[in-house]
Amino acid sequence: MKIFITGIAGFLGSHLADAMLAEGHNVVGCDNLIGGYRDNVPKDAEFFEYDCNDFEKMKELLRGVDIVYHTACTAYEGLSVFSPKLVAENTYLNTVSMASAAISNNVKRFVTCSSMARYGTQEIVPFTEDMICKPQDPYGISKFSAENVLRNLCDTHGMELVIAVPHNIIGPRQKYDDPFRNVASIMINLMLQGRQPIIYGDGEQKRCFSFVQDDIDCLNKLAFQDNVVGEVINIGPDEEFVTINHLAKTIAKLLDFDLDPTYMKGRPQEVKLATCSANKARALLGYSTKYSLEQGLSEMIEYIKNRGTKPFTYHLPLEIVSDLTPKTWSERLF
């Protein structure tokens, strides 16, 4: 089949492209390189440096495409409170552009990657797909709005839709010189430079971290199985529900680093306890966790060591600067 992947130079998109190429599919993709590295793109994939919001280009590129995987997004949950226009344009509006281009080209199936941010704060964890979504930051609101417009368009025009909810993915190829997201990558990049990590709040926020290859095995199936059409499916583990403090200690242990983190005030609208149930993915996709947190972090460490540590690049604008804006960003502390 001809598979089109948005965000193909990104962390998730490039791994997905590898998996599709390995199965013999024709892979084409686009990326604006906001959140990825050009050398992430597999050499056998056809790559176009275009933004998903360029509707005319997307219409042209999607001719003859069978399946669209929409992974492109400015997935900046914390930053979205301070740069909502940027995040909305590259989360909600780029999804509308891609859906319109896909429908106009009679694409059979559209697989979109949503976010755990769709759930917001719930009374119980782990989050299940049948919960009422209560997103509490502009990123989560944009993601959930994108889901809703996709359902409307796909129902109207007859394109198959699958909504995947990958969460807290870690692994090689993740952008590690980005000061606005990817907590594990930020910590590794800092500690490899002999610098202490900065932790927001008390560090007792809890998350489950998902190694990328465990997610790819499931995402791959979403293009082809009939039993997933119209479904929302959490993709990622519900084991090893750990605090950010524990994450920092685990990385420090793997690096033999003398940990003494700096704590700063918490970020507005950050969810304290966030993890998703994997039961639906187990039932529909045969999901299982093959990598432990330590194994995943070890692979990330080797990747960053081999590639070389980098200074952090403040490559995105802060649209709102106030007393609420984290000093890590406004004063460029990383």
Rounded to whole angstroms, the Cα distance separating 57 from 244 reads 41
49-64 tens-digit pLDDT: 999 999 999 999 999 9
Amino acid at 61: L
Rounded to whole angstroms, the Cα distance separating 11 from 172 reads 8
Rounded to whole angstroms, the Cα distance separating 171 from 134 reads 28
75-96 tens-digit pLDDT: 999 999 999 999 999 999 999 9
Which structural domain range is residue 128 located in? 2-170+209-235
Rounded to whole angstroms, the Cα distance separating 28 from 50 reads 12
Structure tokens at 174: 């993740």
199-233 tens-digit pLDDT: 999 999 999 999 999 999 999 999 999 999 999 99
For range 3-19, the mean pLDDT: 98
Binning pLDDT at 50, 70 and 90, where does residue 4 land? very high
Query: Under a CB-based contact definition with an 8 Å cutoff, are residues 178 and 130 in contact?
Result: no
* pLDDT number for residue 157: 98
In this structure, is residue 199 part of a structural domain?
Answer: no
- Provide the whole-model pTM: 0.97
Q: Which CATH number is 156's domain given?
A: 3.40.50.720
For range 100-111, the mean pLDDT: 98
In this structure, the strands spanning 46-48 and 160-166 are unpaired
* pLDDT number for residue 253: 98
In this structure, is residue 152 part of a structural domain?
Answer: yes
For range 268-285, the mean pLDDT: 97
In this structure, is residue 190 part of a structural domain?
Answer: no
How many domains is the chain built from? 1
* pLDDT number for residue 64: 98
In this structure, is residue 193 part of a structural domain?
Answer: no
In this structure, is residue 302 part of a structural domain?
Answer: no
* pLDDT number for residue 148: 98
* pLDDT number for residue 22: 98
Rounded to whole angstroms, the Cα distance separating 172 from 192 reads 15
In this structure, is residue 51 part of a structural domain?
Answer: yes
In this structure, is residue 278 part of a structural domain?
Answer: no
112-121 tens-digit pLDDT: 999 999 999 9
Strand partners, 169: 210
**Mean pLDDT for all residues in the chain:** 97
Binning pLDDT at 50, 70 and 90, where does residue 326 land? very high
In this structure, is residue 297 part of a structural domain?
Answer: no
The DSSP string of 116-150 is GGGTBS-SSSSB-TTSPPB--SHHHHHHHHHHHHH
Rounded to whole angstroms, the Cα distance separating 176 from 181 reads 9
175-204 tens-digit pLDDT: 999 999 999 999 999 999 999 999 999 999
